[in-house]
Structure 1
């Protein structure tokens, strides 16, 4: 019977922890640099980049960069716009894409395999190839709202939301997850007389917590970091998201301290959203690894 050498075991454990610490540092250090730099004057910020002082709370620390950022741009408005657009898009996407995936997995209708293949094929199509056609489409689409009929979608929230409600990746995630659910649950529900929507809402979706969290986080990151599309379709300041607002800090003079303060403020919603869903997200990764 082979014996385990305590020295070798300890060495392997030390190497493992060293690798994990290195990986954690790669992700944490840029965030730490951003936060620490947001409290320093621009000159001091730049001088500290050549040493470890860039990651430490040393120097002339103050909230001047945050005050200057609010004076230079309507930061609160940009954050509100991004959170609103992202939140609404994520909620609608989860509903629409999960319904589509449910129909692909559990319903039998002609052409579903072909349509699913076409949807998945859109994953390899770069957005830049459809940006101009999509712009021409939304610029001429009518809309019936509270103020009457509008002849364009430009400079609105809906133009930043509706084109991104359905996407191939989210549908694919739900399809793969639904396929792994026990078919006996669906059969038993049908025997008891449940409708397809009742099965979707009361049987399938309560079991889909991990994939919902995964899809929500991925969709949130994509929508919150949108830059090109809002830059094209939104010219009015009142509808601009945070990424478009970043260009305010490169006008006239580049204020690096204010940029770091702005980046710190717009990162808070992302971290908060992740912390809310992290348990379900980790569970999704774990379940995917177990299923192999």
Structure 2
């Protein structure tokens, strides 16, 4: 070991210790949630002031999970959340990547104005436009399920597509695609055009195969965003037929005494599958972020 390497050992040890401490801080809420999901209300509050709150100790029971399934239509809510997430991400990959292709690889009048508008949209919080958007979709006609049959409605409210269509086009996803597409050499496009390819063929056969990392990035980020949607379905889906998992948690509140064990069980049922999937795809996610050119 060289002298410089020996000097760096304490620094690296301190860095790893800091990272471990930060990991524990972020892990505490998850441990509390999982441990509390197996305890009664009284046991949860009794353990709050000790390390026992983070550990599955004491009288443990799976009743909270049984009651969570009994009180909440988890299977139906899970189906809605999966359907909304899959359709939105699938259509979003097509729409956002094609929009970014037009911005990054084609020349047309007004492109700079659209890019400026795209950047502006990135800094506008969704909460600022949620109410105007809700008033808009409340006036749009569409189709909805009523008793298992499709019926014509005068509003998009309380439907699945009110949770899908407004989020297919996403400014942040377009920006990620645009940044990646812009760095691909245009010699590929010119060679394809010389061979008689159309712009769509260039997009399909040249750009897409060269951009799998950014497609992976957008897929993961948009899927997490749609899975965690709460505010929008809360104000646009008052009924149970199109209710997603996140909004389904509200039925555990409002009673004189909240069953916190059942709340934690429901939260664990929502969180653990996503956490397992993220851990499984962690390496792929890191590679996709690095490959997409996302910089801090």
Please say whether Structure 1 and Structure 2 have the same fold, judged by a TM-score greater than 0.5.
yes
Q: Which residue of structure 1 aligns with residue 126 of structure 2?
A: 127
Partners of 2:143 and 2:41 in 1: CA distance: 49
Q: Which residue of structure 1 aligns with residue 267 of structure 2?
A: 263
SS in 1 for 2:196: coil
1:244 aligns with 2:247: yes
Q: Which residue of structure 2 aligns with residue 105 of structure 1?
A: 104
Partners of 2:293 and 2:115 in 1: CA distance: 25
Q: Which residue of structure 1 aligns with residue 216 of structure 2?
A: 213
- Which runs of 5 or more structure 2 residues have no equivalent in the other structure? none
SS in 1 for 2:197: coil
Q: How many residues align?
A: 291
Match of 1:227 among 211, 226, 230: 230
Match of 1:191 among 191, 194, 212: 194
TM-score normalised by L of structure 2: 0.89
Could you tell me how far 1:228 is from its partner in structure 2? Answer: 1.8
The structure-2 alpha-carbon separation of the partners of 1:188 and 1:23, relative to structure 1 and needing over 3 Å to count, comes to farther
Q: Which residue of structure 1 aligns with residue 153 of structure 2?
A: 150
Q: Which residue of structure 2 aligns with residue 281 of structure 1?
A: 285
Q: Which residue of structure 1 aligns with residue 47 of structure 2?
A: 48
Q: Which residue of structure 1 aligns with residue 73 of structure 2?
A: 74
The structure-2 alpha-carbon separation of the partners of 1:185 and 1:143, relative to structure 1 and needing over 3 Å to count, comes to same
- Which runs of 5 or more structure 1 residues have no equivalent in the other structure? none
Q: What value does the CA root-mean-square deviation take over the aligned residues? A: 2.4
The structure-2 alpha-carbon separation of the partners of 1:291 and 1:183, relative to structure 1 and needing over 3 Å to count, comes to farther
Could you tell me how far 1:276 is from its partner in structure 2? Answer: 5.6
The structure-2 alpha-carbon separation of the partners of 1:209 and 1:279, relative to structure 1 and needing over 3 Å to count, comes to farther
The structure-2 alpha-carbon separation of the partners of 1:169 and 1:290, relative to structure 1 and needing over 3 Å to count, comes to closer
Instruction: Name the one with the larger helix percent.
Output: 1
1:165 aligns with 2:188: no
Q: Which residue of structure 1 aligns with residue 34 of structure 2?
A: 35
Q: Which residue of structure 2 aligns with residue 180 of structure 1?
A: 183
Is the CA contact (8 Å cut-off) linking 2:213 and 2:292 kept in structure 1?
no
Is the CA contact (8 Å cut-off) linking 1:209 and 1:280 kept in structure 2?
no
SS in 2 for 1:130: helix
Structure 1, residues 118-165: CA drift from partner, whole Å, max 9, x if none?
122112223233223222221221236894643221111001100111
The structure-2 alpha-carbon separation of the partners of 1:271 and 1:56, relative to structure 1 and needing over 3 Å to count, comes to same
